[in-house]
Structure 1
């Protein structure tokens, strides 16, 4: 239980205890005087003006103490009831969606661990964006869906990197290729890219800018449902930018040129795998895209609003102690 939730009750109990002690302090001395010995000719003393003035002052002190006790008890009860109010916190959210799309075919397996390092660095450089990942070969598999849980993203990317580099721990049982061989052929890049495009939920309704970071050598072996240009057009139709990373860009080959044309045709960019340059360039391009406005539901909070009542209770307790001390003199 949160200790802060108990402070109104503790303050109320403190005021009640102070009131009880003050009343006892005023009552007990009087009882002791009542049990004293009788004194002769007291009427002569009580008829004196000085005595009557002192008695009046004493009664005024007693009345003030009782009044403070009643007011203090009321304030303590009010604070103990925890007066509260409702606060609706509406936060504007401007974020982007990013899918990591990784080719895990045989021709890429030697460099995929390095590419996952690029993905990890990109995730570290971004702030608050939703990130997901899909891997593909003959078929594609969702590695993890779009999420803004960066601890989870880091854990998943690290697990795939350890699997691809052969450094899984003895207690880790993880087949990263599971589900990627359910098709005819290998490295079906067009189908993989199309799957990544369709991973964005509510493509037409979402206001979030969408980007794909595609890592592939574009060496296709088999019959695709979507060619790479067709998948690129699908991305254009859904306003998805593709940033392509080619670890085997030898310059002038048709596969690299097709991958470059497709990525740039979506408004994205094409990069050879250069760890020192690729990460900052991709992050710069993604951050340059104006973030979309996301209307988040208001967060309703019930907050304590005692106002100045705790201070009033403290003042009353102090005044009551002072009155009790003065009367006992």
Structure 2
């Protein structure tokens, strides 16, 4: 299929006005002074070589042609010719979403299922979380992991594939084995607060109770409300702290509910892999509103072609003059 003419333009089209510049300069320069009238006696040896004047004239014409070709190629290269290729419109919502993932030791518990087999909680989170991340094309997504300490595993980015890969690479023990919910949420808020986006969201997932770090979840949730950042919390695990009966590795649903309510987000309770997938769908719907953004044209520079022609022409012009 032929490329439409609208797919070709110049980065600096005004530079094409330089093309007739040599003619203008020749027109404005003063003419060369002519010598006085008089007779010229030509030796016989020179008269014999006058017949070769036609060769000299052809060489002069060739040099003029090469000089013009060199000038035209240079001006066209400087003007920046390029192809403008259409690009597909991408979904966009202007949201920035930071996932805050609990990587405490309790995430190793094998009480979830995937594809008919029992797996650790973290394996289920990776499967469902990666799918959620990839569906958010058009948003900037990041990942914070926390346990004893909090760390940014993936900075906010439109590259959802790289963030999903960072989630898949997360391992228990990278940042300790306790549960510092307040510090993890605080780091996520810090990264989001530094951006100019209007819609900022944290999705916090934990399967334990806050027992590490320097801040409490409620205090950080109050800060999120002041910053205008919604926090959706996911309480992961089959048992709650309220009915733990001495089991320390259970989820504090009340604390996570308080974080969501205080910040203006939603609280979700997850006991199975199916619950987790349904929550991912719900959050995707809540933070929807994505529309097709205007397609951004892709431009392919063509200036190396006239630039290369100018170089070759300059070499040819130099060789022609040396042979003169």
2:186 paired with 1:194: yes
Contact 2:231/2:266 (8 A) holds in 1: yes
Select which of 149, 152, 155 maps to 1:142: 152
Contact 1:85/1:302 (8 A) holds in 2: no
Deviations 1:24-43 (A, max 9, x none): xxxxxxxxxxxxxxxxxxxx
Q: Residue in 1 aligned with 2:15?
A: none
Select which of 216, 222, 231 maps to 1:242: 231
Contact 1:138/1:188 (8 A) holds in 2: yes
Deviations 1:278-303 (A, max 9, x none): 12111112224899xxxxxxx99977
Deviation at 1:141, TM superposition (A): 2.2
Q: 1:260 to 1:123 in 2, by over 3 A?
A: same
* Matches of 2:221 and 2:280, distance apart in 1: 22
Deviates more, 1:279-288 or 1:243-252: 243-252
2:102 paired with 1:130: no
* TM value normalised by structure 2: 0.53
2:156 paired with 1:151: no
Q: 1:272 to 1:262 in 2, by over 3 A?
A: same
Whose RCO is larger (CA < 8 A, sep 6+)?
Answer: 1
Contact 2:151/2:175 (8 A) holds in 1: yes
Deviation at 1:123, TM superposition (A): 0.9
User: Secondary structure in 2 aligned to 1:225?
Assistant: coil
Contact 1:86/1:301 (8 A) holds in 2: no
Deviations 1:207-234 (A, max 9, x none): 3422111111342335x53211111111
* Matches of 2:235 and 2:155, distance apart in 1: 24
Match runs of 1:290-329 below 5 Å: none
* Matches of 1:194 and 1:105, distance apart in 2: 17
Contact 1:115/1:215 (8 A) holds in 2: no
Q: Whose helix proportion is higher, 1 or 2?
A: 1
Match runs of 1:123-272 below 5 Å: 123-160=133-170, 163=171, 176-180=172-176, 186-200=178-192, 202=194, 206-221=196-211, 224-248=213-237, 250=239, 253=242, 255-272=252-269
* Matches of 2:234 and 2:180, distance apart in 1: 16
Q: Alpha carbon RMSD of aligned pairs, Å?
A: 4.2
Contact 1:249/1:256 (8 A) holds in 2: no
Q: 1:219 to 1:133 in 2, by over 3 A?
A: same
- Contiguous gaps of at least 5 residues in structure 1: 1-68, 164-175, 292-298, 305-329
Which runs of 4 or more aligned residues in structure 1 lie more than 3 Å from their structure 2 counterparts after TM superposition? 69-79, 84-87, 249-254, 288-291, 299-304
Contact 1:99/1:134 (8 A) holds in 2: yes
Report which of the two structures shows the higher radius of gyration computed on alpha carbons.
1
User: Secondary structure in 2 aligned to 1:268?
Assistant: coil
- Contiguous gaps of at least 5 residues in structure 2: 1-61, 85-91, 110-120, 244-251, 293-297, 304-324
* TM value normalised by structure 1: 0.52
Deviations 1:2-22 (A, max 9, x none): xxxxxxxxxxxxxxxxxxxxx
* Matches of 2:154 and 2:276, distance apart in 1: 24
